[in-house]
Amino acid sequence: MRHLRVPSAETQHWLEICRNRGWLQSGAGVLSLENGKKGIPLSIRAPQESDSQWNGNSIFMADGIIKGPEHWSEHLPSELVEEIKDEIPNSYEIQGDILIVKLEEKIRKHGPVIAEAMIKQLPSVRLVCADNGVTGEFRVRDLQPLAARANDISTITQIRENGVLISTDPTKVYFSARLSKEREDNLSSAKELRKKLSRPLRVCDPYAGVGPSLASLLREQNLVSECYAGDLNPDAFDLLQDNIHSFISKSDVPLTTLSVKNIDARKWVEEQGCIDKIDFLLVNLPHHSLEHLPDLLPLMSKDSISVIRGWAIIDRESLMSQEENISSMIKQTGGEVKSVTCSEVKGFSSSKIFMRFESWQKFH
Ligand SMILES: C[S@@+](CC[C@H](N)C(=O)[O-])C[C@H]1O[C@@H](n2cnc3c(N)ncnc32)[C@H](O)[C@@H]1O
């Protein structure tokens, strides 16, 4: 392949000229040469060395560095790219080896071709599914498989988070990889509470899904002495049961109680031995967390400090009043509030936000 030899400092300048004039060989990379020079790969449309447009730079023959396509859309037929260029999806989500993509109505019929292109480009992706929105009581996504590597269309996959493998099935249960930072912060708060109490914690995650929050808590040595976890979605419960055993660390202080149930979170108060017990509670049902909170407070331990971390979708303008709102729920259940902080994690819609709250209190 012909290459244009240019001084290194002029590489960008000549790349731009070649690109604009159709002289750049696509799919090939720039060569690094001796004496600080670079070799720009030329297409067959580029003029001969004698052409004055090269400003005296020489042309030489060399094997080019062939780069693969940089974007999955480069695997699509060029006529299709031209037809759908304004609707080409520019983002997607990956859970394990499953890629989930939202397709505009206009390009849905091209879903299988788009999915094949994505599989060609992304070696770690096995299955591509179209995301047709959230459905049902458990807000699970309606996913339509579009293409699979080696025809393996299983929707069960494993996600690695903070060194732990978590099995999930995005067609049946909720999981958000984007909230992994929140889970890291759960761990920091739990460690701080352990320090204050000078003992491992009794933890409850009643909306556990497949258990990502428990993965980080249970993996930490000597952090959890008792664990109460559940989910109302039977599919999430099945996966949670399988996952949770793989999370448990070999601590000096063993886990004395592990209770995993397929129940409504508000029913934990009816479970024997759960009331007045929990040091660290997670409340993760964002559309209803604040509504459910009063029903969960009787679970909290008495006469020692405890922590609640939760997430809620609220009206943007109500953020300022949420600390007071949560404080008053705690006080009404006999709690002495040490601190409540409410912060925006991300926007949810034009008028709503996704908020995290963390409260430290002592119930009497
Ligand atoms: C937002 S997800 C959180 C899942 C998990 N904690 C995570 O971070 O991935 C909420 C979970 O609560 C479950 N759920 C919905 N209503 C419930 C209820 N009344 N009681 C217990 N779990 C419920 C859903 O099935 C879902 O798995």
pLDDT of the residue at 182? 96
Q: Say whether both 51 and 150 belong to one domain.
A: no
pLDDT of the residue at 146? 98
The token duo for 187 is 């761990």
pLDDT of the residue at 28? 86
pLDDT of the residue at 252? 72
Ligand 1 atom at minimal distance to the Cα of residue 208 = 6
Domain CATH code at residue 145: 3.30.300.110
The reply to whether 168 falls in a domain is no
> What average pLDDT does this structure show over 254-271?
96
> What average pLDDT does this structure show over 97-115?
96
User: Which of 66, 81, 104 is the last residue in one of the domains?
Assistant: 66
- Ligand 1 near 175 CB (within 6 A): yes
Query: Which domain, by its residues, includes 57?
Result: 2-66
**Ligand 1 geometric centre to CA of 176 (Å):** 11
Please provide the DSSP assignment of 111-126 as one string. HHHHHHHHHHH-TT--
pLDDT of the residue at 67? 79
The reply to whether 163 falls in a domain is no
pLDDT at 275 over 80: yes
- Ligand 1 near 284 CB (within 6 A): yes
pLDDT of the residue at 250? 73
Domain CATH code at residue 275: 3.40.50.150
pLDDT at 273 over 90: no
Q: Which residues pair with 61 in a beta bridge?
A: 2
Nearest residue to 153 (alpha-carbon basis) of 162, 161, 164, 145 = 145
Which string of b and e fits 116-130 if b means at least 16 CB within 10 Å? bbbbbbbeebbbbbb
Q: Say whether both 101 and 62 belong to one domain.
A: no
> What average pLDDT does this structure show over 59-74?
88
pLDDT in tens, 5-34: 999 999 999 999 999 899 999 888 899 998
> What average pLDDT does this structure show over 275-290?
97
pLDDT at 307 over 90: yes
- Ligand 1 near 268 CB (within 6 A): no
Ligand 1 atom at minimal distance to the Cα of residue 182 = 8
pLDDT in tens, 230-253: 999 999 999 999 999 999 877 777
Q: Say whether both 193 and 221 belong to one domain.
A: yes
**Ligand 1 geometric centre to CA of 285 (Å):** 5
pLDDT at 276 over 90: yes
User: Phi/psi zone of residue 35: left (φ > 0), alpha (ψ -120 to 50 degrees), beta?
Assistant: left
- Ligand 1 near 46 CB (within 6 A): no
Handedness of CA 297, 303, 309, 315 (dihedral sign): positive
pLDDT of the residue at 254? 84
Q: Say whether both 98 and 146 belong to one domain.
A: yes
Handedness of CA 64, 70, 72, 77 (dihedral sign): negative
User: Which of 20, 45, 66 is the last residue in one of the domains?
Assistant: 66
**Ligand 1 geometric centre to CA of 318 (Å):** 24
pLDDT of the residue at 74? 93
Q: Say whether both 223 and 194 belong to one domain.
A: yes
Of the listed ranges 174-178, 180-184, 342-346, the least confidently predicted one is 174-178
Of the listed ranges 6-20, 60-74, 83-97, 183-197, the least confidently predicted one is 60-74
Q: Say whether both 334 and 220 belong to one domain.
A: yes
- Ligand 1 near 212 CB (within 6 A): yes
Q: Say whether both 123 and 182 belong to one domain.
A: no
Q: Say whether both 191 and 322 belong to one domain.
A: yes
> How many independent structural domains does the chain possess?
3
- From the number of C-beta atoms within 10 Å of its C-beta (0-12, 13-18, 19+), residue 77 rates as exposed
Nearest residue to 207 (alpha-carbon basis) of 178, 185, 237 = 237
The reply to whether 169 falls in a domain is no
Ligand 1 atom at minimal distance to the Cα of residue 264 = 20
From atom 15 of ligand 1, which residue's Cα is the shortest distance away?
A: 138
pLDDT of the residue at 161? 87
From atom 27 of ligand 1, which residue's Cα is the shortest distance away?
A: 209
> What average pLDDT does this structure show over 183-192?
97
Of the listed ranges 88-92, 201-205, 323-327, the least confidently predicted one is 88-92
Ligand 1 atom at minimal distance to the Cα of residue 183 = 8
Query: Cα–Cα distance between 183 and 293 in angstroms, integer?
Result: 19
Handedness of CA 22, 23, 25, 31 (dihedral sign): negative
Q: How confident is the model at residue 272 (pLDDT cuts 50, 70, 90)?
A: confident
Q: Say whether both 59 and 201 belong to one domain.
A: no
- Backbone phi, then psi, for 331, in 5-degree steps? -65, -40
The token duo for 341 is 């902080």
Q: Say whether both 203 and 261 belong to one domain.
A: yes
pLDDT of the residue at 68? 82
The token duo for 9 is 């400092």
- Ligand 1 near 206 CB (within 6 A): yes
> What average pLDDT does this structure show over 64-89?
90
The reply to whether 165 falls in a domain is no
User: Which of 66, 81, 113 is the last residue in one of the domains?
Assistant: 66
> Given the structure tokens 């701080």, which residue do they identify?
192
Q: Say whether both 129 and 184 belong to one domain.
A: no
Residue ranges of the alpha helices (H) in 122-250? 180-197, 212-219, 234-247
The reply to whether 197 falls in a domain is yes
pLDDT in tens, 138-180: 999 999 999 999 999 999 999 998 788 999 999 999 998 889 9
